[in-house]
Each structure stands twice: as structure tokens, then as C-alpha cells.
Amino acid sequence: MSARIIDGKAFAATVRGKVADHVARLKSDHGITPGLAVVLVGEDPASEVYVAAKHKQTVEVGMASFEHKLPADVSEADLFALIDQLNADPNVHGILCQFPVPDHLDERAVVARIDPAKDVDGLSVVNAGLLASGEKGLVSCTPLGCLMLLRDQIDAMSGLDAVVIGRSNLFGKPMAQLLLQENCTVTIAHSRTKDLAAVCRRADILVAAVGRAEMVKADWVKPGATVIDVGITRIPHPDRPGATKLLGDVDFAQVSKVAGAITPVPGGVGPMTIACLLANTLTACCRALGVTEPEGLTA
């Protein structure tokens, strides 16, 4: 048996299309252009690529993009002054600081400085608390993207066993909350979980976000399960000197023979992250204006 390959790149394009349609309506009906501000501290090469992609896709869906690049040694006070200015700017509906930030800055303090209504990364304590309470907030982009892919793949998630490997605030915890909201029976597994393979084998939905390349093997997966791979590890390409290759947390070649459906890396979950960031910015803008929110773009 060979698993269905979940095409996250195509799905993300559909999400961006829906966002663009709604942005056009906001402009024509209300004269409003949603705006996203992205703050990049330092020169991490991967972050520069992601921030450039965010800018390009923001403009493509018709939103305003505000990019702020700060030096790696920027003080916390200067970074906070910029965030305060963005919080107060009525043309900015979403704000995010690209992670990781340099070591002298505290990611949690940075997130806490952002107005929760503009926290389109959904990482603030307020938004995490709203999600945990089942109330309306802004949901972290990568878990929201995984939820959209799962809803598209599985007709009835209610009652299914879901295992999330990874317990980060950015991904594992919000992912587990979203699966719980879908009435799954949810287990959060992590580095201290006993017999991780056996725990994973129970899952109808297995979501891997451990950050260890190809850790999830075929005998960890229940036949027919839906497998979502959130890992991205870049390694030197085995056949092409100087080139690199991306690996997920799942051994794709092995697991795709057992799973019912699986996301590839690249082209699975990754593209959904930026698509959901745009969806969150649109949602934040609609809420700020008190106008109808788009359907199907939130949890």
C-alpha cells in the first residue's frame, strides 16, 4: 500500500487565494487594506529567506507589508519601542517578530510586548489561554495549517486517537489543543515518553514535531494512519556537492508504505505556515474593524 501524499503547497495556494478574495472585498466595501509588520533581528540566513517569503506573499494577496530589520545587537528597549509603535499604528493589523532572536533577547518577553489582538503568530499568553479555553483568539500558524490539512483529509476526526510528538509553545501545545477541539483523544509525547514507538503506533493521526531527522520509522505507524510531518532539517545533499537537502522528522520512504496519508518535506506543512499567517492577519484586521470574518480560515 502507498500513502496519499498531502500537497501542502497546493493547499496553501488555495488558502492564499481565499485571503486575496477577502482582502479585495475589504478594500472595495470598507476602503481598508490589512497590514502585516514583520520584525527581523540580526542576519540568520534561514530567517532572512522566510521573512522575504512573507513580504512577497503578503503583497501578492493585496495586503500592506511593513518590514523592519534591526541589527543583531539591538537593545531590548529599542526593540520594544518599535513594537510599541507598531501596536499603536492603525495601518498595522498583525505583528510578528521572526524567531529565533539573538541570545540576549527573551522570546517570551518579545511576544508579551505585542498587542494580543495583533499577535498573528498566536504565541502570546492571552492567545494561548483563549485557545486552551476554547475561546476565539489568534492561533499559532503552523498548527493552524496542520488543522486545515487534517480537516481536508479526514471527514470525521471526532473520537480518533491523535499523538503529537513535541511539546513546544510554538507548535506541540497549540496543536494538541486544536485536536482536542476536534474531539480527538490526544496524547502529547516528548523526549521523556516511555516506549515512544508504542505510543505512536496507537495513533490514527500522528503529528511529528521533534526536530530529529527521520526519527519516525514505519513500525511506529498504525497502518492507514494520517501522518503530518512538521520537522525541517537541512543536510548536505548526498549526491550534489555544495547543495543541501531537507528532511522531515518522518522517514518518508518507509512510512509512506504504511500510512494512509502523509505530508512530504518539503511541500507539506511548511508552505501552510505563511498562508496561515496571512489568514491570521486578515482575521485580526476584520476583528479590529468589527466586520465579517472570512469563513474556513480560522480554527
Contact residues for ligand LMY7XDAE (CB under 6 A)?
50, 96-99, 121, 141-142, 232, 246, 265-267, 270-271, 273-274
User: Closest approach of Cβ 179 to ligand LMY7XDAE, in Å?
Assistant: 18
Residue 287 — φ and ψ, nearest 5°?
-65, -40
User: Which residue in the list 18, 57, 121, 249 is annotated as catalytic?
Assistant: 121
Q: How many CB atoms lie within 10 A of CB 212?
A: 13
User: Which residue in the list 18, 54, 118, 173 is annotated as catalytic?
Assistant: 54
Residue number, 32 or 268, with CB nearest to ligand LMY7XDAE? 268
Is position 73 annotated as part of the catalytic site? no
- 168 annotated as belonging to a binding site for a ligand: yes
Degrees, nearest 5: CA angle 249-97-32: 115
- 205 annotated as belonging to a binding site for a ligand: no
Q: Which is nearest to 94 in space by CA: 69, 68, 116?
A: 116
User: Closest approach of Cβ 50 to ligand LMY7XDAE, in Å?
Assistant: 4
- Select the residue whose beta carbon is closest to ligand LMY7XDAE and give its number: 270
At 94, is the secondary structure helix, strand, or coil? strand
User: Closest approach of Cβ 278 to ligand LMY7XDAE, in Å?
Assistant: 12
Residue number, 124 or 273, with CB nearest to ligand LMY7XDAE? 273
User: Which residue in the list 18, 57, 98, 249 is annotated as catalytic?
Assistant: 98
Residue number, 34 or 94, with CB nearest to ligand LMY7XDAE? 94
- 167 annotated as belonging to a binding site for a ligand: yes
User: Closest approach of Cβ 203 to ligand LMY7XDAE, in Å?
Assistant: 22
**Amino acid, res. 42:** G
Residue number, 24 or 46, with CB nearest to ligand LMY7XDAE? 46
Q: Which is nearest to 208 in space by CA: 228, 232, 185?
A: 228
Residue 27 makes CB contacts below 8 A (sequence gap 6+) with: 33, 62
Helix axes 270-289, 45-60, angle to 10 degrees: 50
Is position 121 annotated as part of the catalytic site? yes
Residue 76 makes CB contacts below 8 A (sequence gap 6+) with: 104, 105, 106, 109
Give dist(CA 122, CA 43) in Å, integer: 24
Residue number, 206 or 277, with CB nearest to ligand LMY7XDAE? 277
Residue 187's H or E segment, with its range, is strand 185-189
Q: How many CB atoms lie within 10 A of CB 66?
A: 18
Is position 249 annotated as part of the catalytic site? no
- 232 annotated as belonging to a binding site for a ligand: yes
Q: Could you tell me which residues are annotated as the binding site for NADP(+)?
A: 166-168, 232
Q: Could you tell me which residues are annotated as the binding site?
A: 166-168, 232
Instruction: Report the catalytic residues.
Output: 54, 98, 121
